Each structure stands twice: as C-alpha cells, then as structure tokens.
Chains A and B, each alone.
Chain A
Amino acid sequence: MTQLVVIVIYLALLVVLGLTANRMFRGTASDYMFASHSIGPFLLLMSLFGTTMTAFALVGSTGQAYRAGAGVYGLLASASGIVHSLCFFLIGVPLWTLGQRHGYRTQIQFFRDRLNSHAIGYLLFPILVFLVVGYLMVGVLGGGAVIEAVTQGAFEPSGWFASTGFGVPSWLGSAVICVVVLIYVFFGGMRGTAWANAFQTAVFMILGVVSFVVIADAIGGTDSFVEDLRVASQQVDESQLRRDKIPKPLFFSFLLIPLSVGMFPHVFQHWLTARNANAFKLPIVMHPIFIMIVWVPCVLLGLWASGPQSGIGEALAEMDPHDRGNAVLGLLVSTHAGPLLGGLLTAGILAAIMSSLDSQFLCLGTMFTEDVLRSGDKDERDDRRTVLIARTFVVAVVVATYCLSLVLPRSVFDLGLWSFAGFTGLFPVVFAAIYWRWLTAAGAICSVLTTIGVWFVLFIRSGFGANPGYSFPEQPLSLTVVTIPPLHPVVAIFVASTVALVVVSVFTKRPDDATLRKFFRPRWRA
C-alpha cells in the first residue's frame, strides 16, 4: 500500500505541474506547441534526455545486463552517447535554424518545402504516425505492467482486483498514466511537457543512483561502500564480465539504432522549442554523461542480480524465463530497499515512461493539426482555433492509443526496437535534405518506400516481431570477397534506404534553383 500511496502522490504532483504551466500559457499556437521558442539550455537538456530515455533505460538495461552481462552498456548506452549528440549537432541545429527562418512546425513542412513536393508529405505522414504509435505502445503497456507488478496485495483487505493478485490491473494503470499525461499535455502544452520532462528526468536519475547505493550496501554487507561494490561484483560469474552472449555483428548493428533520434518527430518538436541555437550546446555535451549516470548503476545492478548473493535468485528461478529480465530491478528493490524506496523507484520508472509519452502525444497532435487540417492553408492563422484543434487531437490520440493498447498482444514490447529501426531507415532522407543538393523528391520518396517495404518484409519474416533475435541475412551470406554475417535488421533497412536515395536522386530531376538557393546559400560551416 505504501508503494501505491507514493505513486498516487507522484502522479498528483505531475498534474499540479501541468496546471501551473497552464497559468503561463499565452494563448497562442506557438506557445502551446513550441513554448514560444523560449526553452533555454538546461530545460532543453533535460527534456531531450527525458524524451530519448524510455523505461528501457532503467528496467530494460538492468534486465539486459542480467541476461547478457556487462557488454550491454557498450551495446546500447555509449553508442547513444556518441550518436544522439551527433544528431543534435548535425541535424538538430540546422533544422532549428531553418525552422526559425521559414516557420516550420513539423518535419513534413520542412520536407515539402525542401523537395518542392506535396507527395513526400502525404507519404511520410502515415509512416511517421505508424512508427510513433509503435513506440507509444511500449510506454503505455509498460507503465500499466509496472503499476500492476508493484501494487500486488495492496487491495487485499478490500478484496478488490483478486484476479491480478489484489494489485491495480495493468489496463487501469495504463489508463491512469494516459489521463495524467493527457492533463499536463492538454493544459500545459509544450511548456508543461518540458517542465514535466525536466522534473521527471531529475526524478529517475536521482532515484536510480539512490537505489544503487542501497542495494550495493545490502548485497555487499560491509561498512565501506567501495568494499560493498567489490563484494557485489566479485560474486558474479566470469562469463557475465566477458561478452560471450553478445555477437560482434549485433554489437556493430546497434551503432545504427540511435540514428533514429534524427527522425523522431517528437525530438524535432523539442528542437524547435530552443530559445536560440546556443541552447543546443549543453545538451550536445552533457547527453553522454547523463546516459552514463543512468546506465552504469543499472548495468551493475543487473550484473549483481545474476550472482548467488543477489538475494533474488530463487524468486527469478520461479518465473517464466521471458519475464525475468523486466522483473530484476523491481525484485532487487523490493527485496533490499523496502516499500518506501520501492514506491519511489516505481515513480522513477513511471517518470522515464511518461517523459517520452508526453512528447509523443503532443507531437502527434501537432502533426494532425499542421500536416492534415492546416495543410496548404495560407490564411492568417487563428491561434485560439489552432490550439483548440491541437488539444482535441491530443485527446483523440491518447484515447486511440489507449484503446489500441487494450487489444494488442503484450509482445508489442518488442515493437520498440522495430520502431527505432524504421526511424533509422528514414535518417538518410533528413541527412541528405540538409547536406546534399542533389537530393530529389523522387529519391526521397523511393528511399521512404524502400524503408517501409524492407521493414515490413523483415518484420513479417521475424514472425511479426515475435522472434526478438531475428537477423538478416538469416544465414551468413558468402559473396566473392567477403562473407556478411547475420546482422540486426536495422542494417539492411538503412543500407537499402541509402542506396535507393542516392541512385534515384542521381537519375532524376533536381529541385529548381530557387529552392536550392533557399536552403544552400550559406554553407553549414563556421
């Protein structure tokens, strides 16, 4: 019950934050969608980091380290530290500048203008929505599952929810999360979202470190923190310290996954909120450090959980092998940290989930408003009407997402990685749109079609995501001079997309000179 009370207090705080942000709302569409482009370096750092770190950063990293060992940090975290900042620098800053100059509010407006083509917008819109919704599902379902797991037994005295062990059922947990996020996105718009992201990012970073110290003390059992660390690490099997369970080709493949950030529509919207270009400097520099602060404790906890002194070995052994990974962090906390810290850590996990959900909901509302309803609208914009439409669409998106989460199977957890792979396939389009004059509308359209085509074929071949270890080529492919090993599907999607973009652009008509002058007069250099 203590955990439930902590979660309720935390969610109430978020609602208050959203309502407070609403008091600063200026009533304009720019303020609702982009916080009047007023976000400074610190808020931009916190909101970008919170948006790109999902529940996977806390729960998934611990579970993956439990399964695959210490190499998980290099596989997922240090790669993101390099590539995310690269995307902020090479994609974010130019898009912010072009957005300021030409008044873009969505990626699609930029692509339509840059390629002088409405077709690219009609094609990209459903694909971006489809990929974002796949990503959203992970958060909505994940949040419900976390609440159900940690509130087990809370309602035993009243006899409620017996079918879910007297815990809050996941469908109800997901609904509560959706409602809370909806309230602060509806009332607070982008300002409320940025504030909530900053608050939630601080919450999950601080609570992650606190949990780490408490659990290290419990497993180590000495008076010295450093000695606790040594005892906890030295009880782990040596195979967990090596990287036997991570194939080298997979390690290479995962370097491409973080490129997805360059095409996330919700990250694009956060970029546009920046007060000025210099606001990007702090996020670019600090992003790798923030990833390290969150991931290193989680990876060590996952490692320790695999050792005989973790105190959770028996509980894990009784579980379905597929559920063990996601349960590791919760079990460590409930076994070693007590209900209060357990409740706080759950709040931290929900923080990580909601700090991504809010931006995704808001960006889908913005895309519907700008790219569907207002497409081709040249009239002076009625701000109040635009805000009303955006809010209506945010509500519709939340309701639709929640309903979809009720009917989709739980295996959609694996869809997160597939969603990232799709966005990575679209990365060559945005990169070429900024840096390559020869990019043509036909080249971009073929690249997008190739991405989605290859994505679907490989997704079907993987049993609709049911086989998380699916690789392509499925067997080593021997060419005359080289053998291509099985790689994560993202590599095939990315390569096919790039080849289609380059080949078709070279053989088709370039945009006219006026369009090129609009985007390429100044070189992207200091």
Chain B
Amino acid sequence: MRYLIWMLVLVLIILHQDYWQWENATLDFGFLPRALTYHIAISLAAAIIWLLAVRFCWPDAMIERELEDQDR
C-alpha cells in the first residue's frame, strides 16, 4: 500500500504538468476556466492522497522507537 501511495504522489506531480490542454478555453459550469477546474481537481486529489498517506504510510513505529530511545 505504501508504494502505491507514493506512486500516486508521483502520478499527481506528472498530471500537474497538463501541457495537453494549454489552449483549452472552455468554461466549465459556465464560469470556471478549464485551467482552473483541472487544477482544483489536482488540489482535491492532493488532499485525498495525503489523507491516504497519513493513514497508510505514517511512520508510527519509527516515531515510537525514537522517542523510546529518548526516554531511556
């Protein structure tokens, strides 16, 4: 799962570079330029991926070991 999530982060960074729709002047819902709609979706996707990351990639064990060592 951890590798899948870091792969998703990488995919998100690649998708951020959306050169294929540079010339697109569509207004989504009649008021949102496509360049904005797409990157709002990127922001929402980032929040979801970070939610998965803190759920499945959180370094609990490392933090506990480090802080236990401090207590000794």
Contacts and interface: CB of A to CB of B under 8 A. Distances in A.
Interface residues of B, number: 47
B17, B33, B60, B70, most chain A CB atoms within 10 A: B33
B44 interface: yes
Contacts of A299: 36
Interface stretch (A227-235, A400-408, A489-497): A227-235
A20 interface: no
B47 A230 contact: no
For chain A, give the interface size range.
35 or more
A242 B70 CA distance: 55
Given A74-B18, A82-B9, A89-B50, A234 B27 contact: yes
Interface in B1-50: 2, 9, 12-13, 16-19, 22-27, 29-36, 38-40, 42-44, 46-47, 50
Contacts of B69: 101, 521
A315 B12 CA distance: 41
The secondary-structure label for the interface of chain B is helix
B31 A69 contact: no
A100 interface: yes
Contacts of A526: 2, 56-62
Interface in A224-277: 226, 229-230, 232-234, 238-244, 248, 251-252, 255, 277
A239 B33 CA distance: 11
Contacts of B50: 85, 89, 284-285, 287-288
Nearest to A65: B36
A78 B33 contact: no
Nearest to B12: A82
A521 B67 CA distance: 13
A188 interface: no
B25, B44, B56, B67, most chain A CB atoms within 10 A: B25
B3 to A, nearest CB: 11
A98 B69 CA distance: 11
A78 B13 CA distance: 10
A241 B16 CA distance: 17
A296 B36 contact: yes
B35 A82 contact: no
Given A74-B42, A234-B30, A525 B61 contact: yes
Contacts of B26: 241
Interface string A486-526: 00000000000000000000000000000000000111111
B33 A82 contact: no
Contacts of B35: 69-71, 73-74, 241-243
Nearest to A237: B25
B21 to A, nearest CB: 9
Contacts of B43: 77-78, 81, 288-289, 291-292
B31 A285 contact: no
A233 B39 contact: no
Contacts of A251: 17, 19
A281 interface: yes
Contacts of A284: 50, 53-54
Interface string A48-82: 00000000000000000000011101100111011
A2 interface: no
A90 to B, nearest CB: 10
A255 B67 CA distance: 34
Contacts of A229: 30-31
A288 B46 contact: yes
Given A284-B53, A285-B54, A292-B44, A232 B12 contact: no
Contacts of A233: 27, 30-33
Contact of B31 (A85, A230, A244, A522): A230
A522 B66 contact: yes
B62 to A, nearest CB: 5
Contacts of A73: 35-36, 39-40
Interface in A282-329: 284-289, 291-292, 296, 299-300, 303
Contacts of B51: 285
Contacts of A281: 54, 58
A11 interface: no
B50 to A, nearest CB: 5
Nearest to A103: B70
Contacts of B2: 525-526
A286 B47 CA distance: 6
Contact of B23 (A89, A242, A252): A242
Contact of B53 (A89, A232, A240, A248): A89
A100 B69 CA distance: 11
Interface string A101-138: 10000000000000000000000000000000000000
A522 B18 contact: no
A289 B44 CA distance: 7
9 closest Cβ pairs, A-B complex: A70-B33, A229-B31, A233-B31, A241-B25, A74-B39, A288-B46, A78-B39, A230-B30, A70-B35
13 contacts: A74-B38, A74-B42, A89-B54, A89-B57, A97-B62, A97-B63, A98-B66, A244-B23, A251-B17, A251-B19, A252-B17, A521-B65, A522-B65
Given A232-B31, A296-B40, 19 more contacts: A73-B40, A78-B16, A81-B47, A93-B59, A97-B66, A239-B25, A241-B24, A241-B34, A242-B25, A243-B35, A255-B13, A281-B54, A285-B54, A288-B44, A292-B44, A299-B36, A300-B36, A525-B62, A526-B2
